[in-house]
Amino acid sequence: MTLLITGILRKFALTKFPFTASNSSLSSWCKAESPLSHLNGEQLESLFVDERVQRLLLSLTGHDTDKILRHRRINQTERTHYALMTDNMMKEFMSRLDQRAGKFLRIVPFKEPRSNRTEVLARDAEIDGFDTAKFVFTDISFDATDLDRTVVVREQDGTLRTALPEERDRMNRLFFVQPNRPVNEPPLFAITDEWLQKTLDRDEHEFVLDWACHFYEPDAPKFVELCKYIFDHTLANDKLDVLYSTRHFGTLAFYLVINGKMDKLLQFYEQKNRNDGVDQTRQLWQILSCY
């Protein structure tokens, strides 16, 4: 039976089922009323990785070393280290700390979510109602990767189709276990769940987003949905400072600008007396609007 299933998967694997973003002209990150809604997902991705945009986003993020290297929840505690230093040694040490802190500010990728469209491979009416559950067939051979692995689903009515992104990701987590990546999604990532609301009320936005970055791929539909919800919640509750000087602020700033919320960023930098932030926000808008 295992050989038969592998053979079937290899047969289908001859035709690749590529990950594709939605063909809709409207990007999943843009709201319908956005002034940049005419830009599709591919164009926004190209703008996001533009060197000029990346430099602006990194500068807009801020660099608060005390916040970046603050105490965090980790699995293993580290022993506190004390040392006597001269002034020069202290300056050198602080310089190394700043460089180390910069590694924590690498901006999270901005990707369009994979399409939820499926491709019907076969319709076998003779096995309609053969079982009350779906069957998922997964290629677990060593040369297959999480990105190109063939995963197909047999529906109860006999239809054989390609897997949805959520189904594919769940199979990858099931067969290729990674730390802190359970098979089923944690309830915390459900935008309708009370635990997410309570966590955001405690200003733990960064904790949720960091965990989501580890659990999901950047183009996972659930990841994009969760990020948009947290960004909107952050803006609605005037909590931009919670994500300031974190690796998520650059993506947040980009999201706000493409959705016509630049005024909120300008007010934020004015309150921080960051005139350079005001200028850079306007530069970012100019680059995006002229595309």
Query: What is the secondary structure of 227-271 as a DSSP string?
Result: HHHHHHHHHHTT-HHHHTTSTTHHHHHHHHHHTT-HHHHHHHHHH
- Cβ 108 vs Cβ 230: under 8 Å: no
Does 202 lie in the same domain as 94?
A: yes
Does 99 lie in the same domain as 45?
A: yes
Does 170 lie in the same domain as 197?
A: no
Q: Which candidate, 75, 74, 63, places its Cα nearest to that of 104?
A: 63
Q: Domain limits at 12?
A: 2-17+117-175
Does residue 78 form part of some domain? Answer: no
* Tokens read off for 48: 């996001």
Does 240 lie in the same domain as 143?
A: no
| 14: confidence class by pLDDT, cuts 50, 70, 90 | very low
Domain stop point among 132, 150, 175: 175
**pLDDT reported for residue 10:** 46
Does residue 12 form part of some domain? Answer: yes
Does residue 260 form part of some domain? Answer: yes
Q: How many structural domains is the chain composed of?
A: 2
* Tokens read off for 214: 């580890």
Per DSSP, the three-state class of 291 is coil
| 84: phi then psi, degrees, rounded to nearest 5 | -90, 130
Q: Please check the confidence at residue 256 and state whether its pLDDT lies above 80.
A: yes
Does 193 lie in the same domain as 170?
A: no
| 3: confidence class by pLDDT, cuts 50, 70, 90 | very low
Q: Tally the C-alpha atoms within 13 A of residue 83's C-alpha that lie toward its C-beta.
A: 7
| 1: confidence class by pLDDT, cuts 50, 70, 90 | very low
**pLDDT reported for residue 21:** 52
Cα–Cα distance for residue pair 48/54, rounded to 1 Å? 7
Query: How many residues can be counted in the chain?
Result: 291
User: Model confidence over 152-205: pLDDT tens digits?
Assistant: 999 999 999 999 999 999 999 999 888 888 999 999 999 998 999 999 999 999
Does 195 lie in the same domain as 108?
A: yes
Does residue 158 form part of some domain? Answer: yes
**pLDDT reported for residue 73:** 67
Cα–Cα distance for residue pair 156/287, rounded to 1 Å? 51
State the average pLDDT for the chain.
87
Cα–Cα distance for residue pair 133/126, rounded to 1 Å? 16
Does 12 lie in the same domain as 128?
A: yes
Taking the model in full, what pTM does it have?
0.84
Domain stop point among 146, 175, 204: 175
| 233: confidence class by pLDDT, cuts 50, 70, 90 | very high
Domain stop point among 135, 151, 175: 175
